Structure 1
Amino acid sequence: MFNSPLPSANELPSSRQLVRSTAIAFAVAMGLLVTVVMPSEYAVDPTGLGRAMGLTQMGEIKISLAQEALADEAAAKNPVTASTPAPTVVAVAPPASAPAQQVAAAQPTKPAAPAGKSDETSLTLQPGEGREIKLEMRKGSVVTYAWSASGPVNHDTHGETYNAAQGDFHSYSKGRQVKGDKGELTALFDGTHGWFWRNRTSGNVTIVLSTAGDYLTVKK
């Protein structure tokens, strides 16, 4: 067996060299943390390089998927039990004339407009894709809505204030693997309020949204 000779004192790095190497390694690690790890994992991009390289968008997608997974897990643990609706008394009106019935049948069903404007917006989701449609609303304003999908989708009706931080939003309602929803949305604060859908099927899904009420703009 051959033993390697021990290095001499002159061959060993000095304390100054060790400190310098440690400082360089620390600076490189911090640079990678700020420019690569934080944008790609947490969507935090203090330098702006992460968004330029597409890493911040990756982090935003990861956060969105994590939030959706948590929502799916919570929904699976706490299934909502549908309550039996109260009986509704319907007043019988005199039969309408044949021409009036034909005109009424030809008109699509849309939400009644309490005030303001109305729009119909559509989008198509590819497999695994998630997109949203938002309305810019003032606090206290009311919108009625109805949307339908050509296939089952996961959805989250939510809103956020202007310049809200990443992940800071208020959820109004959620659903998994449904083909439609309708109701009334009252804005709790100034900001954007609307719907996020994700297609978990293997084919494209088209969504048509009808809105009517007191809102400023539609953002797609």
Structure 2
Amino acid sequence: MQHTLSTATLIKSTIIALVIAVLTLVSFILPAEYNIDPTGLGEKMGLTALANTTTTTDVDQYQNTDKLSSSDSFEITVPARRGLEFKFAMQQFEKMEYEWLTEGSALYFDLHGEPEGDTTGYFESYAIATLAEMKGSFTAPFNGVHGWYWKNKTDKAVIIKLKVNGEYTVIGIKK
């Protein structure tokens, strides 16, 4: 004898599944993917830092493919409660020296690289912290796109002054 469920049980199960799906969407997916956090739970769990939201700002002028080998400076505005990525294309073993600073506001950041041609979403982080400034250098471990994701958790836009020197091609804000 085969056990069958009543229509009332099926409707009840469907409603429960729908409620769980909506809670998952609002609590986890929206904060992590779109930086939309209506419950505040996403920020507490660090999920909003994963959102790859980009904003059109004055740095769009730097989106080009000019090979640079000298010192360059950029002024990057990270809007309030938003994040953005600023990237450079680099070949394996190319070097970059960098220095960035804000007017004093600390930003969450992830200095990382994504291998050329990778379609899996893989990236390698070189430094992750929350700071108002950073100075250093790195050598690209592989051909690909390398740079920063900055997250502004304040209620005011933060301006970053970035200085770089090395072997790279400027991509700018990654869309």
Structure 1-normalised TM-score? 0.49
Q: Spell out, residue by residue over 1:161-207, the C-alpha distance to the aligned partner (whole angstroms, 9 max, x if none).
A: 44344xx54221234342x2222222223433211233455644211
Q: C-alpha displacement at 1:145, in angstroms?
A: 1.8
Match of residue 139, structure 1, among 92, 95, 101: 92
Q: Does the aligned pair in 2 maintain the 1:39–1:55 contact within 8 Å?
A: no
Match of residue 141, structure 2, among 188, 204, 210: 188
Structure 1: give runs of 5+ residues left out of the alignment.
1-14, 44-49, 70-115
Q: C-alpha displacement at 1:66, in angstroms?
A: 0.8
| Aligned mates of 1:190, 1:37 — CA distance in 2 | 40
Larger proportion of strand? 2
* Secondary structure at the counterpart of residue 151 of structure 1: coil
* Fraction of identical pairs, as percent: 27
Match of residue 34, structure 2, among 37, 45, 57: 57
Q: Identify the residue that residue 119 of structure 2 maps to in structure 1.
A: 163
Give RMSD over aligned pairs. 3.9
Match of residue 26, structure 1, among 7, 10, 13: 13
* Secondary structure at the counterpart of residue 103 of structure 2: strand
Residues 26-175 of structure 1 mapped to structure 2, 5 A cutoff: 26-31=13-18, 33-34=20-21, 36-43=22-29, 56-58=33-35, 62=42, 66=46, 116-117=67-68, 119-154=72-107, 155-161=109-115, 162-165=118-121, 169-175=123-129
Task: Rate the CA distance shift 1:65–1:31 in 2: closer, same or farther, 3 A.
Answer: closer
**Paired letter, 1:57:** Y
Q: C-alpha displacement at 1:63, in angstroms?
A: 7.2
* Secondary structure at the counterpart of residue 22 of structure 1: helix
Task: Rate the CA distance shift 1:23–1:58 in 2: closer, same or farther, 3 A.
Answer: farther
| Aligned mates of 1:37, 1:197 — CA distance in 2 | 28
Q: How many residues align?
A: 146
Structure 2: give runs of 5+ residues left out of the alignment.
50-66
Q: Identify the residue that residue 214 of structure 1 maps to in structure 2.
A: 167
Q: Identify the residue that residue 109 of structure 1 maps to in structure 2.
A: none
| Aligned mates of 1:176, 1:55 — CA distance in 2 | 18
Q: Spell out, residue by residue over 1:47-83, the C-alpha distance to the aligned partner (whole angstroms, 9 max, x if none).
A: xxx7xxx9941469937961689xxxxxxxxxxxxxx
Higher-RCO chain (CA-CA 8 Å, sequence separation at least 6):
2
Q: C-alpha displacement at 1:23, in angstroms?
A: 2.1
* Secondary structure at the counterpart of residue 173 of structure 1: strand
* Secondary structure at the counterpart of residue 150 of structure 1: coil
Structure 2-normalised TM-score? 0.59
Task: Rate the CA distance shift 1:33–1:160 in 2: closer, same or farther, 3 A.
Answer: farther
**Paired letter, 1:191:** G
| Aligned mates of 1:128, 1:65 — CA distance in 2 | 16
Whose Rg is larger? 1
Q: Identify the residue that residue 176 of structure 1 maps to in structure 2.
A: 130
